[in-house]
């Protein structure tokens, strides 16, 4: 078991993961604006017998270059990534976009505190303004973005095998589940049998049965990604 927590701060929470999971190979944390050496030492003071399994990275979870650098140092990836960082919807989307590929087959990515997507009055949280609101399109509302993964999971059923909402990195999403203030995204297992079902003969419709609505929907997604585009193109 290999775990990464975004929002490790002092490193204390990493000790909880070391206790909760039996003999994890690695528990890594992303901290922002802290001394990673000091945070690592704090974790080791709490769990001295398991210090060799701990790792701390100091970076901004919205910094794509820093995320890429961290990935280069973690060739084995992780079974679980937990985003408990800035809670800013834009950052939650960026982190998922850049880190999902490092989830190992059968693993999951967890986004905590998604209630920040519903704040619409510019409230300040950890130095960031929140300007989302229910139904507001991404990136200001991360919940709306992760809702789109439902269609990625079901894309075989409307004949669009290459459909993506995260630039192609979501091709191996097996399921997305919404709880109270939390989202779980699961990656498909490595078992080759997984992609055999459903077979085309078991589907109720074909691409032509849903293509008109699909074209309108993809135009809508394009307009959200590019505000200068119109939703009716």
Q: CB of 138 within 8 A of CB of 66?
A: no
- Structural domain includes residue 37: no
Domain interval for residue 95: 59-193
- Structural domain includes residue 49: no
pLDDT band at 97 (very low <50, low <70, confident <90, very high): very high
Greater pLDDT, 125 or 18: 125
pLDDT band at 231 (very low <50, low <70, confident <90, very high): very low
Q: What is the pLDDT of residue 86?
A: 95
Q: What CATH number has the domain bearing residue 103?
A: 3.40.50.150
- Structural domain includes residue 36: no
Does position 127 have pLDDT exceeding 60, yes or no?
Answer: yes
Does position 12 have pLDDT exceeding 80, yes or no?
Answer: no
pLDDT band at 10 (very low <50, low <70, confident <90, very high): low
- Structural domain includes residue 169: yes
Does position 232 have pLDDT exceeding 80, yes or no?
Answer: no
- Structural domain includes residue 40: no
* Half-sphere exposure for 112 (CA within 13 Å, toward CB): 10
Q: What is the pLDDT of residue 201?
A: 72
pLDDT tens per residue across span 163-217: 999 999 999 999 999 999 999 999 999 998 888 877 777 788 888 999 999 999 9
Q: What is the mean pLDDT of the chain?
A: 90
- Structural domain includes residue 90: yes
- Structural domain includes residue 228: no
pLDDT tens per residue across span 63-87: 999 999 999 999 999 999 999 999 9
Phi first, then psi, for residue 108 (nearest 5°) are: -145, 155
- Structural domain includes residue 174: yes
pLDDT band at 38 (very low <50, low <70, confident <90, very high): confident
Q: What is the pLDDT of residue 227?
A: 52
Listed range (8-22, 32-46, 217-231) with the worst mean pLDDT: 217-231
DSSP sequence for 112-130: E-GGGGG--S-EEETTEEE
Q: How many domains does the chain have?
A: 1
Does position 151 have pLDDT exceeding 80, yes or no?
Answer: yes
């Amino acid at each position: 078991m290999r775990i990464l927590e975004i929002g490790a701060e002092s490193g204390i929470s990493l000790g909880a993961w070391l206790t909760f999971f039996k003999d994890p190979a690695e528990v890594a944390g992303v901290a922002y604006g802290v001394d990673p050496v000091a945070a690592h030492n704090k974790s080791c003071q709490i769990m001295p017998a398991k210090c060799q399994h701990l790792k701390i990275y100091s970076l901004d979870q919205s910094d794509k270059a820093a995320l890429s650098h961290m990935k280069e140092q973690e060739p084995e990836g992780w079974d679980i990534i937990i985003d408990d960082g800035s809670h800013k919807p834009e950052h939650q989307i960026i982190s998922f976009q850049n880190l999902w590929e490092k989830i190992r087959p059968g693993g999951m990515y967890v986004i905590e505190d998604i209630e920040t997507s519903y704040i619409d009055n510019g409230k300040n949280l950890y130095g960031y303004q929140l300007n989302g609101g229910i139904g507001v399109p991404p990136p200001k509302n991360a919940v709306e973005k992760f809702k789109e993964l439902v269609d990625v999971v079901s894309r075989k059923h409307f004949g669009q095998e290459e459909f993506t909402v995260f630039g192609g990195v979501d091709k191996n999403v097996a399921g997305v589940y919404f709880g109270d203030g939390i989202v779980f995204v699961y990656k498909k297992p490595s078992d080759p049998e997984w992609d055999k079902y459903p077979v085309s003969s078991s589907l109720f419709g074909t691409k032509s049965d849903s293509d008109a609505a699909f074209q309108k929907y993809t135009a809508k997604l394009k307009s959200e990604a590019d505000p200068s585009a119109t939703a009716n193109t």
